[in-house]
Structure 1
Amino acid sequence: MDTVKTESGFYSLTPKDGASLSLPRVSGTLGADAIDIRKLFGGDDLVTFDPGFGNTAACESRITFIDGDKGILLHRGYPIEALSEKATFPEVAYLLLNGELPTAAELTAFDDTLKHHTMLHEQIRNFFNGFRRDAHPMAMLCGTVGALSAFYHDSLNMTKQEHRDLAALRLIAKMPTIAAWAFSYSQGFPFVYPDNRLGFAENFMHMMFALPSEPNYKVNPVFAKAMDRILILHADHEQNASTSTVRIAGSTGANPFACIAAGIAALWGPAHGGANEAVLKMLGEIGDKSQVPEFIRKVKNKEDGVKLMGFGHRVYKNFDPRAKIMQRTCQEVLGELGIRHEPQLELAMELERIALEDDYFVERKLYPNVDFYSGIILKAMGIPTSMFTVLFAVARTVGWVSQWKEMIEQPGQRISRPRQIYTGAAQRAFVPIGERG
């Protein structure tokens, strides 16, 4: 098969013994162009083969742009560095949902609306009592979010703009409450209701750590700022596995609560949302800085089967821009705790130094990613590893609902239905059981 670019911006594809096909070029604002292949199957019974969809654009989106080679991450055109330093999580949520940063009045109104929806229906408490006391918080989160459609019937008509907007706001506002209650239940603590006098991140931490026996509990402002930044850094990340899952589920017309529950289930996979937990496990297994050279040797020797967790990324072939912000946040949190010499942080920094200088890792472009430092921060703030992916889901809900709304509202939206290359048996005759040898 030959593919030739023509002067008109089309690509001429000529299959063996077939007529030439003219395929249009599709250009975005930034990033790579694409070849529109929708005519392939109808014209010559051809499909593309791209396991894992690593080179397939399944949608058009205006929300997030990533240039993995240059280490760039933009939300609606704004660099993640600027958003994480100068904006709050509600501001970023408004931006992702609406396309523009809010004015002061718009942010106040948006924040007030979110606070109006932080409470859960009281009967939802019963869901937690049905889980085993040692249930994983992600299991509780996934099940409870999926069940929200049984309580909020007034936002399930996806043909109505006001229903879509209401469902999106409810999910963003209620996710921290569900997550905090999952944490409390797993710890044997009483549930703490939202305190809408507090900011988004501060309220989330208050619901996790406040106790009736400590009525004057105050969230450390440094911790609240760190949590706000963590939420911003995880808010959206283009068409990753969980976001694609939400879009595919949404393309069927499923209600938004079911779609987000599907995204949570996809995020639960250790190859997606559980990477920061894997980093802590790796650091624990290394144990001490003196063991780093031996660990690096095992990483380089494929026969040992040892992986360097928290380095490299499916998209980024350069330094993950979120990792630099997370490293600085890690130092701020440990500084607030008065931890000058944190063994795991020193171990992490030594790993980073070696990986950035060693030709083996440099040639393979294995740079630290956002997960490398986030686990250390969360552990320092008293959050157990079982909650790491839950926090990821709280943040990513904003991206999921933004992507879901964009997909639903795009003209010509179709149900997702990938093709396959069948490699099974050819058609054959059925043999009755008595005649089989």
Structure 2
Amino acid sequence: MTDHATFSADGKDLTFPVVEAAEGNDGYDISSLLKETGNVTLDVGFVNTASCESDITYIDGDQGILRYRGYPIEQLAEKSSFVEVCYLLIYGELPSENELEEFEAKIRRHTMLHEDLKAFFNGFPRDAHPMPVLSSAVSALGTFYQDLDPFDPEQVENSTIRLLAKLPTIAAYAHKKSLGQPFLYPDNSLTLTENFLRMTFGFPAEPYELDPEIVKALDQLFILHADHEQNCSTSTVRLVGSSQATLYNSISAGIHALSGPLHGGANQAVLEMLTKIKNAEYDTDTFMKKVKDKEDGVKLMGFGHRVYKSYDPRAAIVKETAHTVLEKMGSDELMEIAMKLEEIALADDYFVERKLYPNVDFYTGLIYTAMGFQPKMFTVLFAIGRLPGWIAQWREMINDPKTKIGRPRQIYTGYTERDYVALDQR
């Protein structure tokens, strides 16, 4: 490949240097385009636009590859823990045994919420969706812990640990608030995932028994969601952070971005689809025919991905986990429907040609439901898993000397100049 690209405009040739990737797509640095031509590029949805250089996560959508800091997701899901993956994403390398113990100890020391922050939950109605509660509470953390200088490494580290420790507690309390149940203090003898399960499903009046297989399954799901390159919420975190907003406020914005149904709400949509099929008078074959015929109101959820054009590597892992969890909890009719839909899609040229393979959301809703989570908590679980990726991306952005405040351009299509018309003449 050449080290530049040539662009012709208005009889003038411009040379754009190539920015080489360690792996995957190289890029063309077109930062001089506006200055040289007076024009901008239009790339709706940033389909072809790289907003930054990053060494955190690599995705090859055609080959179904996902790696954190170079480590394949399959290996991390099988052999690592969520806290270890947090360390890997944030600091760039797998920790030694002593480093991991110290990291876990720091997180354990910060799991409790300030008592005044706990009262914050009383300001929300019981039926409030937990995602805005989560985002609001994260933003409020910045009022309780005011060492917020984004360029002070010690203060950034303090904010990092507090977020990792306190977000599961906030999430559990949001769940408890929706049910009118009492909050539990964290038990710092437990791991992060164990503690979250206990605070979510436990009661003060009785001990909570942890199921090791459920703990492992949820921990693995957190790993699978920990980072995914420059997606909508991650880009939001970086864009907000580019204004030198605090880590808390940037993460709060990311949570709001994740709450959208096109981003974090897909697994809930899958569950709703499977339930509709279960309650309908037709079988899965008929449903898939309706999908192919593009009948109104019939959509195949949990298939296809903006990046992956083959089988989502996370989906294969989640499918196996779903079998483990649902076998433990008893047979599940929705799981049987899901497997039948996948079988049809993988064998039908209509879906294969359109590269509609199952994605990570296809089975996660079934697992969360089997664990006892309500559908509105699904995106909250996504946020807990994605937190270390957001933090790593924010820290990379804030320490990058090339970072500029994000300010996308537009192509204006409105009125040209016109004169003001007095009110009585309109």
Which residue matches 1:386?
376
1:18, 1:44 within 8 Å by CA — same for their partners in 2?
Answer: no
Deviation at 1:116, TM superposition (A): 1.1
1:288, 1:343 within 8 Å by CA — same for their partners in 2?
Answer: no
The aligned runs of 1:77-226 (5 Å cut-off) are: 77-154=70-147, 156-214=148-206, 216-226=207-217
Which residue matches 2:294?
302
TM-score, reference length from structure 2: 0.98
2:361 is aligned with 1:371: yes
Which residue matches 1:252?
243
Deviation at 1:171, TM superposition (A): 0.8
Which residue matches 1:431?
421
2:326 is aligned with 1:334: yes
TM-score, reference length from structure 1: 0.95
Aligned mates of 1:108, 1:41 — CA distance in 2: 51
Which residue matches 1:266?
257
Deviation at 1:292, TM superposition (A): 0.7
Which residue matches 1:228?
219
Aligned mates of 2:352, 2:12 — CA distance in 1: 45
Which residue matches 1:32?
25
Deviation at 1:310, TM superposition (A): 0.4
% identical equivalent positions: 54
2:306 is aligned with 1:314: yes
Aligned mates of 2:82, 2:184 — CA distance in 1: 22
Aligned mates of 2:259, 2:403 — CA distance in 1: 28
Structural RMSD (CA): 1.3
- Secondary structure in 2 aligned to 1:205? helix
Which residue matches 1:280?
271
Extract unaligned runs of 5+ from structure 1: none
Alignment deviations for residues 170-196 of structure 1 (CA, whole Å, 9 cap, x no partner): 111110000000001111111011111
Aligned partner (choices 380, 404, 411) of residue 421 of structure 1:
411
Extract unaligned runs of 5+ from structure 2: none
For these two proteins, the number of residue pairs brought into alignment is 425
Alignment deviations for residues 51-93 of structure 1 (CA, whole Å, 9 cap, x no partner): 0001100001010010000000000000000000000001100
Which residue matches 1:408?
398
Deviation at 1:429, TM superposition (A): 2.6
Aligned mates of 2:153, 2:11 — CA distance in 1: 46
Paired AA for residue 220 in structure 1: D
Aligned mates of 1:375, 1:198 — CA distance in 2: 25
Aligned mates of 2:279, 2:170 — CA distance in 1: 37
Which residue matches 1:12?
6
- Secondary structure in 2 aligned to 1:302? coil
Paired AA for residue 48 in structure 2: N
Deviation at 1:303, TM superposition (A): 4.2
Deviation at 1:334, TM superposition (A): 1.5
- Secondary structure in 1 aligned to 2:12? coil
Alignment deviations for residues 292-333 of structure 1 (CA, whole Å, 9 cap, x no partner): 111111111124242100000011000000001001111111
Deviation at 1:164, TM superposition (A): 1.1
- Secondary structure in 1 aligned to 2:416? coil
Aligned mates of 2:132, 2:14 — CA distance in 1: 49
- Secondary structure in 2 aligned to 1:317? coil
Alignment deviations for residues 129-169 of structure 1 (CA, whole Å, 9 cap, x no partner): 11111111112111111111110012x01121111111111
Displaced runs of 4 or more, over 6 A: none
Aligned mates of 1:212, 1:253 — CA distance in 2: 41
